């Protein structure tokens, strides 16, 4: 079982560490041009041996590194589309999984995001510390729940556990020529006497500092709202879900 208090301590510490290495983010700044996006290819999210297509490609699948494949869940590819850099052109986010034919270990997973142009795609980032592996959901099984684009942000959701269930949702947005974590929701509950709607949950808007805390006290739900102050945003390339 993951405790929410521990999660929050880690989240705050990561935010403070990030502040030492990053400049302030202004969410009202206009999106950058596609010529700036190409510079994001040097984030080195994968090993040096992995070759990633750096040129514009008409086929999104050519942007998947060698030795990796598009994740298939419930017979459907895990991919979603929407406008992520506010240029009116459809972009794409997908989950990719490493090919491991000769091992019983669960394969690594990564989040791939590419910007669309009029006739091709440009790779923006491959983040390799965002998606949990298929064996990291406890008795529940594969913890990956969904990938979506909502209000111009990429949203990754997980769910797992056994009698005690946990879930989280992370929201990433492209601004100032960089990807940032701008929202986080984390919850847990005992499935023997509660549902997810009755979970202890904390939701943070990292852009404003606003939070909503819901607590289940002997079946009675209480809600607390407040503002913890703005923190330096965490870059997607520095995000590690294992530390959350």
Predicted confidence (pLDDT) per residue in 132-149, tens digit? 999 999 999 999 999 999
> pLDDT band at 46, cuts 50/70/90?
low
> pLDDT band at 8, cuts 50/70/90?
very low
pLDDT confidence of residue 41: 33
Percent of the chain exceeding pLDDT 70 equals: 77
Residues with Cβ within 8 Å of 111's Cβ and at least 6 positions away in sequence, in order, are: 93, 94, 95, 125, 126, 127, 128, 130, 131, 147, 154, 156, 236
Is residue 219 over pLDDT 50? yes
Q: How far is CA 145 from CA 42, 159, 170, 177, 209, in A?
A: 29, 6, 12, 28, 26
Query: In the chain, where are the structural domains located?
Result: 4-243
> pLDDT band at 102, cuts 50/70/90?
confident
139: tokens are 């008795």
Q: Rounded CA gap, 77 and 13, in Å?
A: 35
Say whether 20 sits in a helix, a strand or coil. Answer: helix
pLDDT confidence of residue 198: 96
Per-residue pLDDT tens digits for 157-215: 999 999 999 999 999 999 999 999 999 999 999 999 999 999 999 999 999 999 999 99
Please classify residue 227 by burial: count the beta carbons closer than 10 Å to its beta carbon, then call 0-12 exposed, 13-18 middle and 19+ buried.
exposed
Q: What is the mean pLDDT of the chain?
A: 83
Query: Average pLDDT in the 94-114 region?
Result: 91
């Amino acid at each position: 079982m993951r405790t929410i208090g521990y999660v929050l301590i880690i989240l705050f510490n990561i935010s403070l560490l990030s502040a030492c290495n990053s400049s302030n983010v202004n969410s009202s700044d206009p999106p950058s041009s596609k010529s700036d996006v190409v510079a994001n290819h040097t984030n080195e999210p994968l090993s040096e041996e992995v070759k990633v297509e750096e040129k514009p490609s008409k086929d999104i699948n050519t942007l998947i590194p060698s030795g990796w494949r598009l994740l298939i869940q419930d017979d459907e590819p895990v991919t979603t589309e929407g406008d992520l850099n506010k240029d009116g052109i459809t972009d794409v986010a997908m989950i990719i999984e490493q090919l491991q034919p000769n091992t019983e270990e669960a394969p690594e997973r990564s989040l791939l995001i590419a910007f669309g142009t009029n006739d091709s795609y440009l790779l923006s980032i491959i983040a390799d510390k965002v998606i949990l592996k298929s064996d990291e959901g406890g008795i529940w099984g594969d913890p990956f729940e969904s990938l979506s684009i909502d209000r111009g942000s990429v949203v990754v959701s997980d769910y797992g556990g056994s009698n005690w269930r946990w879930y989280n949702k992370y929201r990433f947005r492209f601004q100032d020529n960089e990807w940032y974590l701008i929202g986080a929701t984390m919850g847990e509950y005992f499935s023997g006497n509660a549902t997810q709607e009755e979970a202890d949950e904390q939701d943070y808007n990292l852009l404003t500092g606003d939070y909503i805390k819901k607590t289940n006290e002997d079946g009675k739900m209480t809600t607390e709202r407040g503002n913890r102050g703005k923190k330096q945003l965490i870059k997607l390339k520095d995000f590690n879900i294992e530390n959350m």
